[in-house]
A = this chain, B = another copy of it.
Amino acid sequence: MKKTILVYGISLAALVGLLRFVEYRFFIHDLSLEFYVGTVALLFTGLGIWAGQKLTRRRTVLVNPNFALNETELRRLAISPRELEVLELISKGLSNQEIADQLFVSVNTIKTHTSNLFLKLDVKRRTQAIQRAKELQFIP
C-alpha cells in the first residue's frame, strides 16, 4: 500500500514533468487548451484506474440476499479471502488464465491459490471443488 501511494506520487510528478517538457521542447503552445486538458485527463484516468485497482481491492465478499456464506466453515478450513475469490471465479467456469486476467495477477499465482484451495477442500479437481464449495455454502 505504501508502495502503491509512492508509485502514484512519482508517476504523477513524472507525468506533469513530461507534459511540461513536451510543451516547451516541441513548441506546442499553440495546441488548443482542449487538447492539453484532454491529454492530462487521459493520462490521469489511466493512473487513477491503476491506483484505484490497487487500493480498493475487494476485501469483503459480494453480498447476495439469497445467499448466506458459511463463514464458520470457511475459518475452520482456513480459506483466505483471496482463495475464496478464486473459488468463486472457478465456479463461474473461468480458466486459470481468465481468472488471472480478471484479478490482475499471473497464472502462476492462480495456480498456487487453486492448489492450496484443493488441499483445504480435500479435492483433486476444480469440478470437485465446485461441488464441495456448494455443499459447504462457500458459493451460491
Residue ranges of A at the interface with B (Cβ–Cβ < 8 Å): 90-95, 123, 125-132
Interface of A is mostly: helix
Copies of the polypeptide in the assembly: 2
- A123 CB to nearest chain B CB (Å): 7
| Contact in complex: A92, B131 (CB < 8 Å) | yes
Within 8 Å by CB of A125, from B91, B95, B128, B132, lies B95
Complex Cα spacing A125 to B95, Å: 8
Provide 19 A-B residue pairs closer than 8 Å at the C-beta atoms, listed in order of the A residue: A90-B127, A91-B127, A91-B131, A92-B127, A92-B131, A93-B123, A93-B125, A93-B127, A93-B128, A93-B129, A93-B130, A93-B131, A93-B132, A94-B127, A95-B125, A126-B127, A127-B127, A127-B130, A130-B130
**A131 proximity list for chain B (CB < 8 A):** 91-93
Closest to A126 in B: B127
